[in-house]
Amino acid sequence: MLTAFARAFKTPDLRKKLLFTLGIIVVYRLGTHIPIPGVDYKNVQECVKQASGNQGPLGLVNMFSGGALLQITVFALGIMPYITASIILQLLTVVIPRLEALKKEGQAGTAKITQYTRYLTIALAILQGTGLVATARSGALFSNCTVAGQIVPDQAIFTTVVMVVTMTAGTAVVMWLGELITDRGIGNGMSILMFISIAATFPSALWAIKQEGTLAGGWIEFGTVMLVGFVMVGLVVFVEQAQRRIPVQYAKRMIGRRSYGGTSTYIPLKVNQAGVIPVIFASSLLYIPALVVQFSNSTSGWATWITKNLADTGATPHIILYFFLIVFFAFFYVAISFNPEEVADNMKKYGGFIPGIRAGRPTAEYLSYVLNRITWPGSLYLGLISLVPTMALAGFGANQNFPFGGTSILIIVGVGLETVKQIESQLQQRNYEGFLR
């Protein structure tokens, strides 16, 4: 693999893409440390220090922003508005016929949907930026901080507008940087920025576990966490690469004096067809009640129950509900993202068939049957991979936002594998050996 990396940097055009991508990453990380106007940076750092290890309901969003959210920097919203907009557009494509027609138009339709995604991203950035500023001004962003109410000293409307505009502009810049990596870098720009945001939280989180440990100066806890992390990464890589290949045979067709078709291929159905989306859906849904309690500052019975049973990631009701939500959303997302009837119609149109299965409706029913069978282990895998780190590492201060938690591990491994495949394909085009032998 090291030889492949050396060859990648020896190839002029690939070297330019890699260096360009690294430059964009440096700019992105720089923006996560520049505070926005109107914020008392000293008080923010004090509150972040006091909230270390207990970030509350905003912990997941803060992880996706690379720790910039709680520091209220220019890139505080990070990539989350774009992720949310992309998921919303993907769901609406199934519901709205106009978007479904655009998706079928090819490159022109995809460009139009991308434009809609950008507009929705800016709208969500304005909404989320306004909510973040309002939360910071009220002191609810850091509920246990002694100087939480002094984060935004100036309460003027103009200052609030400047803060919201700055964070919205930061989101637009993040979106632009991701598209630059996609067009001029090694590809998968948004995914790479998400990868960098999550990976940036690893060193501080791991070092905090070492400092909080009591055995051999914390090194035993640190080593145990690293060992469990490597095992989890290996398991995720194994399952993410697993797929069920449905064989497809195309019949021969005579056009003039030439014969077309007669080839064999397959439909790859991944065990984890839904990816990390169900985990994000379930986490976001469970964070809503906790956010309502945090923003309302209520001490009534319902608020106490939510804080005790839903906001606490180690509570039994939270674990059970979280697991079942992941399983439900896995089936839900697979159902809307993979249409067996559409695949069967396309196969029939081009003369393809599955050996032993009649073309048309029987093919669609067979694909649905296989998809449901492999979605069950995929959904259970997602639920377990999201809960095992929480329970196994609870003694080391780990929680759902721990770097080796389900969401972060799935994203890190998925994006890492996809990026390696991108670079490997470009190396193989030049008759070089790839990363994976």
Give 25's pLDDT tier (boundaries 50, 70, 90).
very high
Which pLDDT belongs to residue 56?
A: 54
pLDDT band at residue 66 under the 50/70/90 scheme: confident
Please state the rounded mean pLDDT for residues 141-164. 80
Q: What is the pLDDT of residue 43?
A: 81
DSSP H or E stretch at residue 341: helix 340-349
Please tell me the predicted confidence (pLDDT) of residue 390: 63
pTM above 0.85, yes or no: no
Q: What is the pLDDT of residue 319?
A: 82
- Helix, strand, coil share of the chain (percent; to 5): 70, 5, 25
- For 33, 65, 67, 259, the CA distances from 204, given in Å and listed in that order, are 15, 15, 10, 62
215-256 tens-digit pLDDT:
676 788 778 778 878 888 888 888 888 888 888 888 776 666
What confidence score (pLDDT) does residue 145 get?
73
Please report which confidence band the pLDDT of residue 400 belongs to, taking 50, 70 and 90 as the band edges.
very low
Selection from 76, 79, 81 nearest residue 44 by Cα: 76
Which whole-number Å values give the CA distances from 249 to 102, 264, 349, in the listed order?
Answer: 29, 5, 13
**Domains, the chain, ordered by start:** 1-200 (1.10.3370.10), 210-404 (1.10.3370.10)
Residue of 187, 138, 162 lying closest to 20 (CA atoms): 187
pLDDT beyond 70 at 409: yes
Spatial distance between the Cα atoms of 248 and 76, rounded to a whole number of angstroms: 47
Lowest mean pLDDT segment, chosen from 258-267, 315-324, 407-416? 258-267
What is the C-alpha to C-alpha distance for residues 29 and 36, in angstroms, rounded to an integer? 15
Query: According to the model, what pLDDT value does residue 80 have?
Result: 84
> Which range (108-112, 220-224, 319-323) has the least confidence?
220-224
- pLDDT, residue 64, reads 72
If one compares 184 and 285, the residue with the highest pLDDT of the two is 184
pLDDT at position 276 is 80
Q: Binning pLDDT at 50, 70 and 90, where does residue 430 land? A: low
Beta bridge partners of 353: 249
Q: Which residues pair with 198 in a beta bridge?
A: none
**pLDDT at residue 265 is higher than 60:** yes
Least confident of 227-236, 278-287, 392-401: 392-401
User: What's 423-437 look like in SS3?
Assistant: HHHHHHCCCCCCCCC
Q: Mind listing the pLDDT tens digit for each residue in 190-219?
A: 888 888 888 887 887 777 777 776 767 678
Percent of the chain with pLDDT over 70: 82
Report the alpha-carbon distance of residue 59 to residue 61 in Å, rounded. 6
**Distance of alpha carbon 64 from alpha carbon 78, whole angstroms:** 7
Label residues 2-38 b or e (16+ Cβ within 10 Å = b).
eebeeebeebeebeebbeebeebbeebbebbeebbeb
The token duo for 313 is: 């990631």
Neighbour-count burial for 269-282, b at 16+ CB within 10 Å, e otherwise: bbbbbbbbbbbbbb
H/E run at residue 267: strand 264-270
Model pLDDT, residue 253:
65
pLDDT at 87: 83
Determine the Cα–Cα distance for residues 177 and 325; give it in Å rounded to an integer. Answer: 33
Asked if the model's pLDDT at residue 310 lies above 90, the reply is no
Determine the Cα–Cα distance for residues 198 and 177; give it in Å rounded to an integer.
17
Q: What pLDDT, on the 0 to 100 scale, is given for residue 176?
A: 93
Q: Tell which residue, 371, 356, 201, 173, has the closest CA to residue 270.
A: 371
Q: Characterize the bridge pairing of strands 264-270 and 243-250.
A: antiparallel
Query: Per DSSP, what are the bridge partners of residue 255?
Result: 258
Residue written as tokens 């973040």? 132
Question: Any bridge partners for residue 248, and if so which?
Answer: 265
